């Protein structure tokens, strides 16, 4: 492929930017370094990966089911990504014995890991050039953070085919912990010649393990690295030859002759081939020879059948000028296994949108794929988002269109994903699918069919999987005395179940009746989530401890003996409160309420934790931010109730607070990370934990939930003076 050249090896303007930080599983600490090997693969030591995952340093097992968080550094920003092991060469002893190396071993072989980035870097992220390590080279290494002041200057003192020993200068930084995996940058060659692997430390006291007093006979600032020549040999032996050389086209590929004919037909002039070939090379990260000659059609066709995204990139360039050529080229490409559906630009945009999705939505991608493509083979075993997308790109489409142009399977999945995404990302994903089908020439009507299918699926999912709901109107008529009216809603609307709404009950008696209804509803549909108890109260009942109603001693219910289990309402079933009095007090905020409810999946949270804030400050903050769907109120009781009631009057659908008296609520801190859709269950679980461990789970959370999609039962509200 003489006219096209691989542009993924470049001298770095700032070699420090070659350093990739390998992070701990939590993503908070740097455990070592790495360096880009290709545009989407990085190289590090296997023991660095083990350290990141909290495993033994020389654990030989391939961690192919684990994500390794990494950070790529650029001049103006740092980009985080997850990575997965693509090639694994565990450390082994030099003497050929099968034992795992020990800490006292000074040298070992292997100890290499190639990680594949889950998010493909942008076009301007280029790996460095690599050269052979040799004695006398002046090198530079960096700490895993990649910070500019952490560079350590060293020189190669000895080097064989397996190990290169490097000594540090007497001034400046010395190579130490978290330098493992760092590129060894040859200052004179402007290239990487290996990676840091280990240190040779001064002797330690055999009893205490502490360093012995310094002696001029001790080794100082000696480290060792893995030379490039061994890296390449080990990775080739491990099946990684594709990391070093561009693949050759299959001479028997059925698409080759067709593409030759189409390129000759649509690009007969050399000027046209130069223009289109340069554009494709730029999109795919290739360079071209700096001359005015055009690539031959054989060279161009070879690129289209070796670089997976080149054909899609060419169709992007041609779609406005030669639309008929696009459909013919893509049809020819479908006869080969090499071309991928998306161009590099389309793939990067899609990965960016998926990264921006809430984790709870992104985690549903396998479920969405099964729903969108029920007859397609699924990816077996554990897989990442990128693995699943790679699989989906290879699937054909399906459509009821008669013109033969079908919506690709990946685009159908993205339409299904869009209907459960937050509104802003839903629009972005849909615009993305429209642009891809436009490039491919797929009729827009076919895509609209799939969009309709997705909306019907989402509607059916909500109706089928949403938990049943029990609504209970609770009116206080004295000290621990209440009137109770109960409705059930299995998805078809509320129906009243309680007979006598005028009977007065204690809290325990009310809990007993509610638990009977909830348990019966749960037994009738065991495949659904536990029913949610929605308690309808007036503004004075927002802090009633209804979730604590029940019996803890187990012996008070229905005459059962002491072996019976306790029953506590809010610990057994999700319980939320709703205040129709406040919700409907100012109906001018109902449009805001419905708007916020539609954005529920965005989980946008507003927190009020300043006790000096009052109704005016809260009013202004909610008017300024009409997209917040969830408000947390973490202030003392004297100002808490005013803030809570203001939020409910202004149509905030989800409000959470602690009815206890502590200044900073443990419950709100713990529940702040729970996605809004899982909050009723998260609050229930917290209440259950507070029964078993009240010292550590000291909060008393209250969750107000105003569902704009459900009808509220017709209430019999008492006049205020009746409760006086």
Q: What is the mean pLDDT of the chain?
A: 84
pLDDT number for residue 553: 52
The two most distant CA atoms of the chain are separated, in Å, by 97
pLDDT number for residue 124: 57
DSSP H or E stretch at residue 671: helix 666-671
- 45 and 19 both lie in a single domain: yes
**Of 105, 76, 66, nearest in space to 199 by CA:** 105
For 291-310, give one letter per residue: b (16+ CB within 10 A) or e.
eeebbebebbbbbbbbbbbb
pLDDT tens digits for range 487-545: 887 766 667 776 566 789 999 999 999 999 998 888 876 666 788 999 999 999 999 99
pLDDT tens digits for range 654-681: 999 999 887 789 999 899 888 888 899 9
Mean pLDDT, to the nearest integer, of 552-581?
73
pLDDT tens digits for range 54-78: 888 889 999 877 889 999 887 777 8
pLDDT number for residue 464: 59
| pLDDT band, residue 382 (cuts 50/70/90) | very low
Question: Both tokens of residue 544?
Answer: 């009633």
pLDDT tens digits for range 399-449: 444 445 789 999 999 999 999 998 889 999 999 999 999 999 999 899 999
pLDDT number for residue 401: 42
Indicate whether 149 pLDDT > 80. Answer: yes
Question: For residue 721, is it within any domain?
Answer: no
Count other C-beta atoms under 10 Å from residue 690's C-beta.
Answer: 23
- 156 and 28 both lie in a single domain: yes
Residue with structure tokens 């638990």? 515
Q: 286, exposed or middle or buried, with CB in 10 Å at 0-12, 13-18, 19+?
A: buried
Mean pLDDT, to the nearest integer, of 127-155?
90
- Spatial separation of the C-alpha atoms in residues 649 and 645, rounded to whole Å: 6
Residue with structure tokens 């080969």? 336
Radius of gyration of the CA atoms of the chain, in A = 32
Which among 463, 481, 499 is the end of a domain?
463
Question: For residue 299, is it within any domain?
Answer: yes
pLDDT number for residue 103: 63
Separation of CA 599 from chain center:
19
Q: 77, exposed or middle or buried, with CB in 10 Å at 0-12, 13-18, 19+?
A: exposed
pLDDT number for residue 721: 37
pLDDT tens digits for range 184-225: 999 888 889 999 998 876 666 667 667 767 666 656 678 889
| 349 backbone dihedrals φ, ψ, rounded to 5° | -65, -45
SS3 annotation, 611-665: CCCCHHHHHHHHHHCCCCCEEEECCCHHHHHHHHHHHHHCCCCEEEEECCCCCCC
Which among 438, 463, 488 is the end of a domain?
463
Q: Give the torsion through C-alpha atoms of 603, 606, 607, 610, to 10 deg.
A: 180
* Percentage of residues in the chain having pLDDT higher than 70: 85
CA dist 281 to 227, 243, 247, 313, Å? 32, 19, 16, 9
Indicate whether 716 pLDDT > 60. Answer: no
| pLDDT band, residue 286 (cuts 50/70/90) | confident
Which residues, listed in sequence order, are joined to residue 501 by a DSSP beta bridge? none
Q: What is the pTM of this model?
A: 0.57
- 294 and 326 both lie in a single domain: yes
Containing structural domain, residue 31 = 4-204+215-242
Mean pLDDT, to the nearest integer, of 240-252?
78
Any idea what the CATH number is for the domain that residue 177 is in?
2.40.10.120
For 633-666, give one letter per residue: b (16+ CB within 10 A) or e.
bbbeeebbbebbbbbbbbbbbbbbbbbbeeeebb
Which residues, listed in sequence order, are joined to residue 655 by a DSSP beta bridge? 631, 704
- 455 and 473 both lie in a single domain: no
| Residue 219 and residue 165 in contact, taking contact as beta carbons nearer than 8 Å | no
- Spatial separation of the C-alpha atoms in residues 330 and 312, rounded to whole Å: 8
- 479 and 380 both lie in a single domain: no
Question: Both tokens of residue 686?
Answer: 């917290």
Mean pLDDT, to the nearest integer, of 84-107?
81
pLDDT number for residue 713: 59
| Residue 405 and residue 446 in contact, taking contact as beta carbons nearer than 8 Å | yes
- 166 and 261 both lie in a single domain: no
- 93 and 109 both lie in a single domain: yes
pLDDT number for residue 463: 64
- Spatial separation of the C-alpha atoms in residues 576 and 673, rounded to whole Å: 18
| Residue 134 and residue 127 in contact, taking contact as beta carbons nearer than 8 Å | no
Q: Quick one: how many helices (H) and strands (E) in the chain?
A: 22, 26
Residue with structure tokens 């006086």? 724
Question: Both tokens of residue 245?
Answer: 């050389």
| Domain count along the chain | 4
**Of 490, 486, 515, nearest in space to 500 by CA:** 486
- 603 and 474 both lie in a single domain: yes
Q: Integer distance in angstroms from the first to the last C-alpha of the chain?
A: 90
Question: For residue 347, is it within any domain?
Answer: no
Residues across the chain: 724
- 315 and 400 both lie in a single domain: no
Count other C-beta atoms under 10 Å from residue 716's C-beta.
Answer: 11
| pLDDT band, residue 268 (cuts 50/70/90) | confident
| Residue 222 and residue 229 in contact, taking contact as beta carbons nearer than 8 Å | no
pLDDT number for residue 40: 83
- Spatial separation of the C-alpha atoms in residues 246 and 234, rounded to whole Å: 18
pLDDT number for residue 137: 92
Which of 211-225, 331-345, 710-724 shows the lowest per-residue confidence on average (mean pLDDT)? 710-724
pLDDT number for residue 539: 92
pLDDT number for residue 79: 83
Indicate whether 559 pLDDT > 60. Answer: no
CA dist 562 to 21, 170, 509, 552, 567, Å? 59, 77, 19, 11, 13
pLDDT number for residue 563: 53
Question: For residue 352, is it within any domain?
Answer: no
- 282 and 172 both lie in a single domain: no
What does the DSSP 8-state code read for residue 247?
Answer: P
- Spatial separation of the C-alpha atoms in residues 307 and 173, rounded to whole Å: 43
Question: For residue 724, is it within any domain?
Answer: no
pLDDT number for residue 87: 94
- Spatial separation of the C-alpha atoms in residues 282 and 207, rounded to whole Å: 61
- 21 and 83 both lie in a single domain: yes
- 678 and 614 both lie in a single domain: yes
| pLDDT band, residue 722 (cuts 50/70/90) | very low
Question: For residue 379, is it within any domain?
Answer: yes
Which among 429, 445, 463 is the end of a domain?
463
Question: For residue 100, is it within any domain?
Answer: yes
Question: For residue 355, is it within any domain?
Answer: no
pLDDT tens digits for range 620-630: 999 999 889 99
**Of 500, 574, 494, 562, nearest in space to 531 by CA:** 574
CA angle 520, 522, 528 (to 5 degrees): 155
**Of 454, 458, 490, 494, nearest in space to 473 by CA:** 494
Indicate whether 567 pLDDT > 90. Answer: no
For 248-265, give one letter per residue: b (16+ CB within 10 A) or e.
ebeeebebbebbbebbee
């Amino acid at each position: 492929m003489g006219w096209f050249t691989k542009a993924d090896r470049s001298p770095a303007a700032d070699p420090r930017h070659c350093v990739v930080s390998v992070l701990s599983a939590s993503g908070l600490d740097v455990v070592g370094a790495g360096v880009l090997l290709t545009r989407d693969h990085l190289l590090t030591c296997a023991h660095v990966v083990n350290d990141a995952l909290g495993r033994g340093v020389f654990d030989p097992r391939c961690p192919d089911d684990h994500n390794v968080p990494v950070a790529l550094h650029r001049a103006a920003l740092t980009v985080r990504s997850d990575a997965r092991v693509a090639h694994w060469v565990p450390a082994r002893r030099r003497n050929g014995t099968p034992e795992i190396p020990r800490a006292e071993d000074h040298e070992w072989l292997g100890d290499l890991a190639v990680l594949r980035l889950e998010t493909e870097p942008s076009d301007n992220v280029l790996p460095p050039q690599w050269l052979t390590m040799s004695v006398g080279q002046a090198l530079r290494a960096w700490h895993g953070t990649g910070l500019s002041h952490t560079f350590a200057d060293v020189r190669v003192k000895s080097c064989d085919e397996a190990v290169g020993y490097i000594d540090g200068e007497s001034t400046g930084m010395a190579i130490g912990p978290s330098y493992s995996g760092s590129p060894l940058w040859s200052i004179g060659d402007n290239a990487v010649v290996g990676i840091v692997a280990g240190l040779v430390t001064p002797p330690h006291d055999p009893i205490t393990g502490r360093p012995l007093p310094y002696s001029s006979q001790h080794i100082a600032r000696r480290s060792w690295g893995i030379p490039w020549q061994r890296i390449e040999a080990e990775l080739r032996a491990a099946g990684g030859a594709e990391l070093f050389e561009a693949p050759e086209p299959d001479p028997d590929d059925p698409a080759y002759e067709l593409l030759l004919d189409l390129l000759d037909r649509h690009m007969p002039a050399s000027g046209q081939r130069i223009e289109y070939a340069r554009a494709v090379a730029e999109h795919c990260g290739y360079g071209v020879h700096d001359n005015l000659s055009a690539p031959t059609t054989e060279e161009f066709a070879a690129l289209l059948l070796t670089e997976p995204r080149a054909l899609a990139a060419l169709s992007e360039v041609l779609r406005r000028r030669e639309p008929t050529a696009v459909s013919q080229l893509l049809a020819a490409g479908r006869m080969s296994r090499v071309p991928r559906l998306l161009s590099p630009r389309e793939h990067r945009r899609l990965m960016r949108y998926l990264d921006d999705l809430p984790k709870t939505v992104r985690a549903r991608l396998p479920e969405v794929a099964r729903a969108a493509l029920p007859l397609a083979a699924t990816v077996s075993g554990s897989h990442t988002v990128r693995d699943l997308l790679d699989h989906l790109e290879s699937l054909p489409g399906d459509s009821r269109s008669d013109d033969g142009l079908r919506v690709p399977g990946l685009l159908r999945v993205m339409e299904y994903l869009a209907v459960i995404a937050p509104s802003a990302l839903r629009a972005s994903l849909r615009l993305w699918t429209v642009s891809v089908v436009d490039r491919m020439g797929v009729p827009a009507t076919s895509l609209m069919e799939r969009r309709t299918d997705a909306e019907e699926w989402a509607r059916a999912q909500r109706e089928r999987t949403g938990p049943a709901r029990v609504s209970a109107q609770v009116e206080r008529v004295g000290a621990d005395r209440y009137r109770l009216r109960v409705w059930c809603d299995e998805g078809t609307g509320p129906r009243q179940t309680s007979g006598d709404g005028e009977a007065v009950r204690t809290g325990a008696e009310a809990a007993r009746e509610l638990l009977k209804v909830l348990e019966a509803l749960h037994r009738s549909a065991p495949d659904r989530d536990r029913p949610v108890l929605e308690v309808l109260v007036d503004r004075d009942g927002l802090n009633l401890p209804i979730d604590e109603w029940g019996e803890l001693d187990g012996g008070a219910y229905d005459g059962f003996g002491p072996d019976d289990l306790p029953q506590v309402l809010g610990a057994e079933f999700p319980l939320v409160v709703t205040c129709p009095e406040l919700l409907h007090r100012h109906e001018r905020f109902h449009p805001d309420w419905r708007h916020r409810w539609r954005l529920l999946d965005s989980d946008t949270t507003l927190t009020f934790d300043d006790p000096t804030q009052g109704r005016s400050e809260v009013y202004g903050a909610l008017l300024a931010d009409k997209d917040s769907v969830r408000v947390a109120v973490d202030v003392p009781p004297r100002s808490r109730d005013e803030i809570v009631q203001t939020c409910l009057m202004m149509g905030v659908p989800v409000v959470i607070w602690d009815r206890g008296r502590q200044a900073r609520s443990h419950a709100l801190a713990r529940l702040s990370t729970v996605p809004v859709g899982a909050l009723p269950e998260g609050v229930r679980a917290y209440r259950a934990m507070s029964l078993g461990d009240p010292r550590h789970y000291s909060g008393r959370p209250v969750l107000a939930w105003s569902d704009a999609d459900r009808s509220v039962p017709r209430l019999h509200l008492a006049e205020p003076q009746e409760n006086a």
